[in-house]
A and B are shown apart, each in its own frame.
Chain A
Amino acid sequence: MISLSASDRSTSVSETKLEPGVQDATGAVQDSPPVDEAEKSRRKTPKQTPLPGEPPTVSVQDVTIVYRTTFEKVPTFKSAIVRLGRGERAVREVEAVNHVSFDVPRGTSLGIIGANGAGKSTLMRSIAGVLPPTSGRIEVRGKISSLLALGVGFNGLLSGRENVILGGLAAGLSRDQVEERAREVAEFAEIGEFMDLPMRTYSSGMYQRLAFSVSVHMDPDILLIDEALSAGDASFKVKASEKMSELMSSSRAMFLVSHSLGSIEQMCDDCIWMHKGKLMMHDSPERCISAYTKFLKVGEDAFTLDDL
C-alpha cells in the first residue's frame, strides 16, 4: 500500500501483509467511511497543473486494438503446410481494446482498474508505443518510461548493470547518462554487489526491485506502471512509494494499473475502469472503484453496459 505522509508509514507497513485481492478489496472499500476531502488533499503531493491552452499530455482517441495472432504455440512451416492442406486459417482476432477515448492532462495520475483480460496492459503497451492501435490515434507529449508487467528487457546471462545500461540505451539515453543512472539505480534497488553478477542469480525480489528502480530513474515525463507495486518487501514498498510521490511532482503524467484498489485510491486523482476492452467509466477513483466493486459483486448479467 502506498502512503504519502510520514505519519501513515508505520500503519501502511503492517497493512502490506494483507495486500487486498480484488475480492477482499470489495468489502474493504465499501465499508470504509468516505475519505474526508481535506484530509485527502493533504495526503496527495502537489502536482503540476496544465498551462492555459496546453493540449493533454496523453490523448487516446477512439482507439481499437485488435490482435491478430495465431493460436498455434509455435508457428512453423510444417504447420502452415498442414493448414494449407486443410484449407484453414490460423489467424484469430482478439479485440483487446474497443473504441476507447480519453484525455490525460498534465499533472494527472490516472488509475486503470478492471478484471483480468480487460485490456489494461494492452492499452498501456500502445501508449508506450510498442503496440500500434488498429484504428484511432494516440498522441503522447513527452518521454515515456514504462514498467510493464514483465519487467524490463532483461537478459539473465548479463549482469544487472549491463541490463540497466542496455535498457537505458534502448530508451534513447546517451551512454554517459546511462552509466550515471546505473549507479543511482543500483543504490536505490539495494542489491549491492549483485549489480555486477549475472541476473540469473537474482532472487525474484531483487529482480523486481531492479526493474522498478530502472523505470523510475529514467527521468520520465510520463510514467507507466503495470502492477509493479508488489515489488519487494515492506521497507522497499515504503521507499518505492516515496519515490513515486516525488516523481508525481516532477513528471507530467502517471498511469497506474493495479488490482490493489487501495493504492489506486490513494495515489490517483483520476481513474478509468475497463471491462472486456470497453471503457466502462471515467471518473474519480472513488466513484470508479465503488462502481467496479458493485459490478464485481452483482455479476455481469445484472449489470450490463445499458445500465450505466
Chain B
Amino acid sequence: MTTSATVPDWDAELQVYEPHRAGIPPLRPYFRDLFQRLPFAAEFSRSGMKAAHSETVFGQLWLVLNPLMLALVYFLLVNVISQSNAGPEALARIVGGIFIFYFFSGAVSTGAGSVTTGGRLILNMAFPRLLMPLAAVRTAFFRFLPTVPVYLVFHIIAGGAWTWMMPLGLVFLGLLTLFAMGMAAFMATVQVYFRDASSFLPYFLRIWLYISPVLWSPELAESRFGHYAKLMVLNPLYSLIGGWTDLTLNGVMPSATIWIAATSWALVALVGGSLYFLSRERDFAVRI
C-alpha cells in the first residue's frame, strides 16, 4: 500500500519470528512495542474496573470501606493482644499501613491472575504480554487513590506531623509500585505453570502483612529483638512500607539503610520479575 509508490525499503516493516521459547526476546524492540501499547494496558485496566463497578459511587465507597474496616479490626486486635491502650496515633499508622499494603497485595493478586484469565487475548493477539501484569498494577493503584483522602482524615485526628518531608513519601510509593510490578510479573508467570498458586497467595500475603511494619512500628521491633532487628531489611516491605510510614505519618527522615534497601529491592524485583516473565512469555500461548 504505502511502499508501492515509493521505494523499496523492503525491510521497513519486517517482523521476524524465530525460535526463542525459553530465551529472552530482543529487549529493545520488545520495550519499544511495550511503550507504544501502554494505552492498551491503561484501557484494559480501565474497562476491567468499569466491569467491576469500581467507577460507581458505591463501588468507590467499597474500595475505601473494605480496607478501613479491616484496619479497625486490626486496631482492636492489637489493643486486645498487647493490652495497651493504643491511641489514635496507632490507629492512623494501622490505617495508613493497611491502605498501602492493600495496594501492594491487590497488585500482586490481580497480577497473578492476569495472564491465565487473559485467555483469548493471549491466544489470538501478538503483543508484549508484560502489559497484562502492568495493567493489573495500574488497576490496584487506581483503587488505592480514593483511600488517600481517608487516610489524611485519620492523620488529622491523630494529630500527625505536617512536614515538608511528606511529599517525599511519594518516592517510596513509586518504589513500592515498581516492586509490585516485578512481583506481579513473577506471580503471573508462576500461575501459568501452577494454577493453584492463587490459592496459596492469600496466606502468603497475610503472613507478609504480619512480618511487615504495618501493625507494629519499627521501633517496637528494635526494642524487642535488639540486634536481630537489623535483619528486617531482608524483608522488602520493611523498608518500602517503613519508609512510607516514617515520612507520611511520623515526619521522620528514614535512615540511609532504608533508602538503599527500598531502592535495591524495587529494582531487583522489577528486573528479576520482568526477565522471568519475558523468558517464559512465548510459552504462554500453548499453556493457557
Contact = CB atoms under 8 A, between A and B. Distances in A.
B261 interface: no
Contacts, number: 145
Contacts of B118: 153
Given A162-B47, A169-B40, A151 B124 contact: yes
B19 interface: yes
Contacts of B55: none
* Residue picked from B44, B118, B287, most chain A C-beta under 10 Å: B44
A281 B28 CA distance: 39
Contacts of B36: 172
B124 A153 contact: yes
Contacts of A78: 196
B194 interface: yes
Given A133-B19, A170-B127, A152 B39 contact: no
A171 B285 contact: no
Interface stretch (A14-22, A32-40, A47-55, A234-242): A47-55
* Residue picked from B8, B19, B125, B200, most chain A C-beta under 10 Å: B125
Contacts of A53: 8
A155 interface: yes
Contacts of A252: 1
A175 B39 contact: yes
Nearest to A48: B4
A55 B8 CA distance: 10
A77 interface: yes
Interface string B259-288: 000000000000000000000001101110
B174 to A, nearest CB: 25
B1 A132 contact: no
Contact of B13 (A74, A125, A142, A251): A142
* Residue picked from B15, B194, B196, B287, most chain A C-beta under 10 Å: B15
Interface string A51-62: 101110000000
A141 B10 contact: yes
B173 to A, nearest CB: 27
A144 B21 CA distance: 21
B121 interface: yes
B286 A68 contact: yes
A75 interface: yes
Given A75-B195, A169-B40, A153 B19 contact: no
A54 B19 contact: no
A158 B51 contact: yes
Contacts of A126: 17
Contact of A148 (B33, B123, B283): B123
Contacts of B18: 132-133, 136-138
Nearest to B287: A69
A130 interface: yes
A221 B13 contact: yes
A137 B16 contact: yes
B142 interface: no
Given A80-B194, A135-B19, A169-B39, A157 B123 contact: no
Contacts of A166: 40, 43-44, 47, 121
Interface in B61-112: none
B197 interface: yes
Interface residues of A, number: 59
A246 interface: no
Contact of B282 (A132, A157, A167, A170): A132
Interface string B1-25: 1001000101101111111110000
Interface string A121-139: 0000111111111111111
A154 B120 contact: yes
A12 to B, nearest CB: 29
Contact of A130 (B126, B193, B200): B126
A84 interface: no
A210 B287 CA distance: 27
Contacts of B200: 77
Contacts of A26: none
B188 to A, nearest CB: 14
A76 interface: yes
Contact of B127 (A133, A151, A158, A172): A172
Interface string A157-169: 1100010011101
A54 B194 contact: no
Contacts of B287: 69-70, 75
A125 B285 contact: yes
A127 to B, nearest CB: 8
Interface string B110-133: 000000001111111111000000
Smallest CB-CB A-B distances: 10 pairs: A153-B121, A129-B126, A169-B40, A157-B51, A76-B196, A153-B120, A138-B17, A140-B15, A77-B194, A132-B282
Interface of A: 48, 51, 53-55, 67-70, 74-78, 80, 125-144, 146, 148, 150-155, 157-158, 162, 165-167, 169-172, 174-175, 221, 250-252
15 contacts: A53-B8, A54-B10, A76-B195, A133-B18, A137-B17, A141-B10, A141-B14, A141-B15, A146-B125, A150-B120, A151-B124, A153-B125, A158-B50, A171-B125, A251-B1
